[in-house]
Homo-oligomer: A and B are copies of this chain.
Amino acid sequence: MRSYNQYCAVAKALDLVGDRWTLLIIRELLLRDRCRYTDLQFGLPGIATNLLADRLRDLEENGLVRRIDAPPPIATTLYELTPRGRDVKPILDALGHWGVAQMVVPHEQDTFRSHWLAYPVRELLTDRSPSDPPVTIAVHTGESEMIIETAGGGALARQGVAEGPDAVLTGPPGPILGLLTGVLDLEQAKSRGLTFEGDMTAIRRVQPVATRA
């Protein structure tokens, strides 16, 4: 809880959420809503367990996180954001929007969790024909199945199993995002480990208009 000691709005914000790992903890709580300590650990590969405990304590003291002692049937502590903590979302959105540019070249040793897809999908993909019935793309990458759906003129990702998807993407996240964003064409993506089934027009529909392969 070191402070910059500057009477400046940005510095005051960073005093509370600028420590290493803190914004990523809030990312997890935003993406997964209320969850357990172990869920947070899973969603934050690389964090030391004492650091996670420390940060959660700090966040609780500062009123961004609330701790819920679930009743006997579950008998575990759950963590969730307070309203003030949820207000951090625009900061993460801005970071995500700026950070997607850094994802085009996936790094070899990067870890990955399925639910992280939410940011690039929302920031990068679109719906080129919003008046047509929505399309569904099943994505098999990481630890759990994800669904990408067109909605409200854009595209959203959520966890779940698609019934009768228009397309199915399987493989590592790099070529999957590469194909979805149009940075890679189908052949390039396949050569990097992607398996594709279904209708390519569903893919083309969500590709961003500007940056086409």
Contacts and interface: CB of A to CB of B under 8 A. Distances in A.
A9 B111 contact: no
Contacts of A174: 7
Contacts of A18: 18, 20, 23
Copies in the complex: 2
A168 to B, nearest CB: 20
Interface residues of A, number: 51
A93 interface: yes
A177 to B, nearest CB: 9
A29 B147 CA distance: 41
B103 A98 contact: no
Contact of A9 (B90, B96, B109): B96
A116 interface: yes
